[in-house]
């Protein structure tokens, strides 16, 4: 990143007092056209377009942080984004900023929305979420040298400030828990491989590592990838479970709560008792999962903390005092409930 140019440097380059430069850039005083021209020439020479200069002046700052997210399908909980938003609203205000929320748009239209907010000086920085692999917003904002922090990781080789939850660690906890309950025949329902999110890949990595550490090999047909919705999980589970007790999995790990509910419905329709005949786990610990019958074991993400750290990292960047560590990975926690807590004695 190009370094941050201060008013002091512009003043030194223009040979004009700091106070005058500050006031002129801040539209607090009228000076001669000549003086004004000298100030702007110095600013331009330092390689910044006027917006960057305006942003560097606290009094010209918008006091706003932009935030936009891709909505979830209506049958799925968007609790994660609601919580995240509440958290960044809370912590941004603590450090003197408000959140400007703007709509999700597909593809390059989204970039235009970000560009527009930058060009019109509406925001001082962005908090990104719904991060994908190859997410075009990241190189765009880096190219603009515009402050941002992301909730989520993108391509491993990209360097940018982010906070994320360690999905691999969450899945290792799930697998280790199931193994400790006696499960060896474990099946996994993941999202499609073509889905560009790195979230699924990280979670899968955690599963495979924990299985490998335990010396468990699962047949490839017990790793399903597809739409990642209720129907896909339901259909897949029916296929796996509609077999003799020695030929079916004893535990199904899913990558989301809605998929876990799909698997639970499949078991129910085959008259199997979840928690006794079969263990099922979800991810996200959405509201009401604790009240399902049986209650669902799920991985809970520390979303409030993600929001707090994201706001703090961005504040550091905006203040010109960036924190040492700008890539933070938080541990999720496994909430063990009835859907997986019965000891299982392998047949």
Name the segment binding a second copy (CB under 8 A); options: 95-103, 189-197, 209-217, 220-228: 95-103
Two tokens, residue 56: 């560097």
Q: Site residues for a second copy, window 172-201 (CB under 8 A)?
A: none
With respect to a second copy, which residue has the nearer C-beta, 286 or 340?
A: 286
Two tokens, residue 330: 């938080």
**Nearest to residue 25, comparing CAs of 35, 316, 118?**
35
With respect to a second copy, which residue has the nearer C-beta, 72 or 205?
A: 72
Shortest distance in whole angstroms from residue 4 CB to a second copy: 26
- With CB under 8 A as the contact rule, the residue among 261, 299, 313, 328 that binds a second copy is 261
Regarding beta strands 333-335 and 298-300, do their DSSP bridges make them parallel or antiparallel, or are they unpaired? antiparallel
Count of residues interacting with a second copy (CB under 8 A): 42
- With CB under 8 A as the contact rule, the residue among 90, 133, 184, 205 that binds a second copy is 90
Tell the residue number behind the tokens 């539209």, with chain if given.
27
Q: What is the DSSP letter of 71?
A: P
Strand partners, 274: 278
With respect to a second copy, which residue has the nearer C-beta, 161 or 262?
A: 262
With respect to a second copy, which residue has the nearer C-beta, 79 or 315?
A: 79
Prior bond of 172 cis (ω within 30°): no
Q: Site residues for a second copy, window 133-152 (CB under 8 A)?
A: none
Q: Site residues for a second copy, window 47-76 (CB under 8 A)?
A: 63-64, 67, 71-72, 74-76
Give the whole-angstrom CA distance, residue 16 versus residue 12. 7
Give yes or no for residue 33 binding a second copy (CB under 8 A): no
Query: What is the per-residue burial (b if ≥16 Cβ within 10 Å, else e) of 52-87?
Result: bbbbbeeeebbebbbbbbeeeeeebbbbbbebbbeb
- With CB under 8 A as the contact rule, the residue among 288, 319, 320, 347 that binds a second copy is 288
Burial status of residue 23 (CB atoms within 10 A of its CB: 0-12, 13-18, 19 or more): middle
Q: How far apart are the first and last CA of the chain?
A: 59
With respect to a second copy, which residue has the nearer C-beta, 45 or 86?
A: 86
Give the whole-angstrom CA distance, residue 138 versus residue 149. 9
Shortest distance in whole angstroms from residue 30 CB to a second copy: 6
Q: Which residues contact a second copy by CB under 8 A?
A: 27, 30, 63-64, 67, 71-72, 74-79, 81-82, 85-86, 89-90, 93, 98-103, 122, 230, 257-258, 261-262, 264-265, 268, 286-288, 290-293
């Amino acid at each position: 990143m190009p370094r941050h140019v201060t008013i002091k440097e512009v003043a030194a380059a223009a040979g004009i007092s700091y106070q005058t430069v500050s006031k002129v850039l801040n539209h607090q005083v009228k000076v001669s056209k000549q003086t004004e021209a000298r100030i702007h020439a110095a600013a331009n020479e330092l390689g910044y377009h006027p917006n960057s200069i305006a942003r560097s002046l606290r009094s010209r700052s918008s006091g706003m942080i932009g935030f936009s997210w891709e909505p979830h399908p209506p049958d799925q909980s968007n609790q994660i984004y609601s919580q995240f938003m509440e958290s960044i609203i809370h912590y941004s205000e603590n450090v003197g900023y408000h959140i400007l929320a703007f709509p999700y748009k597909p593809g390059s239209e989204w970039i235009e929305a970000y560009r527009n907010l930058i060009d019109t000086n509406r925001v001082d920085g962005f908090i990104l979420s719904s991060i994908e692999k190859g997410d075009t917003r990241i190189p765009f904002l880096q190219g603009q040298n515009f402050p941002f922090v992301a909730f989520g990781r993108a391509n491993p080789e990209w360097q940018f400030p982010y906070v994320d939850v360690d999905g691999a660690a969450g899945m290792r906890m799930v697998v280790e828990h199931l193994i400790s309950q006696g499960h060896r025949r474990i099946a996994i329902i993941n999202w499609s491989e073509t889905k560009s999110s790195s979230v699924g890949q990280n979670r899968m990595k955690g599963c495979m590592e924990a299985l490998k550490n335990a010396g468990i090999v699962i047949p490839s047909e017990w790793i399903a990838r597809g739409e990642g919705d209720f129907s896909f999980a339901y259909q897949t589970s029916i296929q796996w479970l509609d077999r003799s007790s020695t030929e079916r999995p004893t535990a199904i790990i899913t990558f989301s709560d809605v998929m876990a509910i799909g698997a639970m419905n499949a078991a129910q329709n085959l008259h199997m008792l979840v928690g006794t005949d079969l263990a099922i786990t979800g991810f996200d610990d959405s509201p009401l999962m604790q009240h399902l019958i049986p209650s669902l074991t799920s991985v809970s993400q520390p979303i409030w903390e993600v929001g707090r750290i994201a706001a703090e990292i961005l504040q550091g960047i905006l203040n010109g005092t960036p924190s040492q560590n700008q890539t933070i990975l938080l541990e999720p926690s496994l909430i063990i409930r009835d859907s997986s807590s019965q000891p299982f004695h392998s047949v």
